[in-house]
Structure 1
């Protein structure tokens, strides 16, 4: 889909499209997104924060007035939109996680979503994990199959409401969403990303196993964005996962890093081992909008330096060495032809799978060619939901 706003900044355009996409499940309203975007100066992170924060505060205040007056449906609608707008407000500020605006907007994102969840009978949960807990939400369905879901490199557990939880609950599934290490609710506890994601999904499955209304033989795992690599990694080593959705599929994060070095992994490794690697990475941030955001965020969520983040992605976050081939459960891989980050990777993952497998290629004519089908959430959820229903029928 061609940009019709922020056409000089890929990241600002995609994040605006992401907001438009969340309209489908109540996370935004068209006029609110457009008028907010019109107030934002292109490529200006402070302007982006201020624009979305103002909209979030206004929508939240009206929702809270509705709640005080007993208008629960109106309150729930507004609280959900406000939560998503607060998520957007702090999105580009992670290059300096000590910036007080980061935690202030995040706290409001969680608080407004939890108020919404109370009205909509969604249960906040804490999943025991290595001496602490991972935050999540449980959506009780009609007692059938259960889908465990998590986001990827930058999205929150609250955002998973729009990336599948609401849609699958409508179809009768139980849904458990959570933030794992490196993701918003966990990184604030000092938990940074780890590649062996089976050790993250395992505790979530343990939590589910204690619920008498959960059928342990009918549990699926869905990972969104970079979660399209993390979830397959977990499924390769966790036999309790009986179906897998890679939304969209990712095979190797190292490809993304190597592209910055002409696609040459060896050259990338040598450059990243050089003493001047961090200076080079900061130079790259000045030259490229995507690198500016990704490196700043990546440094925080991996708990390393800019070059340390890149080395970790290059070396550790992949499904090679036979990992993809270990996946035994039925697997759905989604693909977007105009994915500016992971173009071609879903097809690579699909080619390596030896299990029962399905590839869904979304298209530009459907408005679904962007990363994670942002802008076509209803279509994406229909196809994913249909596949899950067929798989567990």
Structure 2
């Protein structure tokens, strides 16, 4: 069910050790609470729009929706399970991995081991004989999902240095899937600064002429397989083209090329639009941009400065990603770099549990190459100030009024990462706009509707087809 309607930076006060550690010692799920990604973690207590802790959100995933008591692992596993409807997971495989983790005792190591094992098995030939292209194709997509699951928690495992290898394993699985699609997506490297953007351009089977096209933007820690679940398949079924890409801070650009997030996302999207408008199979008047999870900030930012886009969708709307970090983490930051880093290294880091330290390394690696490299060595970064400033630079509160094209803003009941921000974005928009809230009545609650991605896509593409009708 949906509810439909039409129509902060850091402070200057130096935090005490007590204040800085409040809320950080209750388990990694709390630290990951405000994750910027669909494969992130749900908190035990979600921050309210004001930044203060709200009531526990455990009831948002009741009964059979609780695969793990730890909310971080539970949310990630629900994302995997939700991918089954798009062929990006198999229910039995996911639940078997969950059982294996439970038997071993829940930890980053047991989670990584169980899901990596699934990925390895699916990339090998199935037992009892060979596999035809369709079997190989779908096994590879599911493998990409399971490698992504392992990748998210690998920095807390016994082998954090395997992060890049694990990313590459998932990328190989994704590329194998793509190569066996019919038609296979066009692969290209779109110029962007010193590091080209890898793109995968999917077209409907038997398509001819110019087609409407959606550019699918991932979040902070999502992988390409998530874009299949949250857009590519739905687009192809409706006769749309779909463009998947890795931007700064994502996928290849992060894990291999070591390029972190940029606040100027229009500079990322502009060359993608250039590439699309030069193609004979793209309807240049019907190019839409979607942004999942933290990209609910990135996509509107790009739309504010790229007038060739015909529509934009924020999933969910996010004005200030910095508010997605727990208030206790935000309190560590001050304008003084030396002071901030002294508090971080001398007062905060020594008191962190191993799980919380790993969670914070994961949260900050897309914003600091040094943080990522330190994390791969099993160390916690010493410069908190630089990545914190980069996250703060993503604020688009004063930008969204520049958006001219129609905009759809999604929100979710029990949104645990950016509560209240979707409605505030909707209120600030001055272009034609619509707000839709996905709810628990049909199992579509929580950030990005992890248990209902098909419903999610139905809402988005129904709106896109109504907003950008065929000509």
TM (norm. structure 2) is 0.76
Q: Distance in 2 between matches of 1:11 and 1:251?
A: 23
Q: Distance in 1 between matches of 2:352 and 2:83?
A: 28
The structural deviation recorded for 1:50 is 0.8
What is the correspondence of 1:338-349 to structure 2 with a 5 Å cutoff? 338-349=414-425
2:153 alignment partner, one of 89, 92, 103: 92
Deviations 1:181-239 (A, max 9, x none): 00011112121111110011111111112212212211100111100000001101111
Conserved in 2, the CA contact under 8 Å of 1:126 and 1:134?
yes
1:380 alignment partner, one of 456, 459, 464: 456
**Which residue of the partner structure matches residue 173 of structure 1?**
240
What is the correspondence of 1:121-200 to structure 2 with a 5 Å cutoff? 121-141=184-204, 142=207, 143-187=210-254, 188-200=256-268
Figure out how many residues of one structure are paired with residues of the other and give that number. Answer: 384
The structure showing larger relative contact order (alpha-carbon pairs under 8 Å, at least 6 residues apart) is 2
The structural deviation recorded for 1:249 is 1.3
Q: Distance in 2 between matches of 1:254 and 1:232?
A: 16
Q: Distance in 2 between matches of 1:267 and 1:103?
A: 29
What is the correspondence of 1:256-271 to structure 2 with a 5 Å cutoff? 256-257=324-325, 259-260=327-328, 268-269=333-334
Structure 1: tracts of 5 or more residues without a match: none
**Which residue of the partner structure matches residue 293 of structure 2?**
225
1:352/1:240 Cα in 2 relative to 1: closer, same or farther (>3 Å)?
same
1:296 alignment partner, one of 355, 362, 365: 362
**Which residue of the partner structure matches residue 82 of structure 1?**
143
**C-alpha root-mean-square deviation of aligned residues, in Å?**
2.5
2:71 alignment partner, one of 2, 7, 10: 10
**Which residue of the partner structure matches residue 109 of structure 1?**
170
The structural deviation recorded for 1:266 is 7.7
- SS of the residue corresponding to residue 189 of structure 1 reads coil
The structural deviation recorded for 1:295 is 4.1
Conserved in 1, the CA contact under 8 Å of 2:261 and 2:366?
no
Q: Distance in 2 between matches of 1:166 and 1:65?
A: 30
Q: Distance in 1 between matches of 2:434 and 2:238?
A: 20
1:360/1:283 Cα in 2 relative to 1: closer, same or farther (>3 Å)?
farther
Conserved in 1, the CA contact under 8 Å of 2:155 and 2:361?
no
Q: Distance in 2 between matches of 1:244 and 1:130?
A: 24
The structural deviation recorded for 1:6 is 1.6
Structure 2: tracts of 5 or more residues without a match: 1-60, 371-382
Q: Distance in 2 between matches of 1:176 and 1:357?
A: 23
Larger radius of gyration: 2
The structural deviation recorded for 1:267 is 7.5
Q: Does residue 211 in structure 1 map to residue 287 in structure 2? A: no
- SS of the residue corresponding to residue 431 of structure 2 reads coil
**Which residue of the partner structure matches residue 72 of structure 1?**
133
Q: Does residue 59 in structure 1 map to residue 116 in structure 2? A: no
- SS of the residue corresponding to residue 200 of structure 1 reads helix
Conserved in 2, the CA contact under 8 Å of 1:114 and 1:124?
no
Deviations 1:230-256 (A, max 9, x none): 000110111111100111111111222
2:344 alignment partner, one of 260, 275, 278: 278
1:204/1:94 Cα in 2 relative to 1: closer, same or farther (>3 Å)?
farther
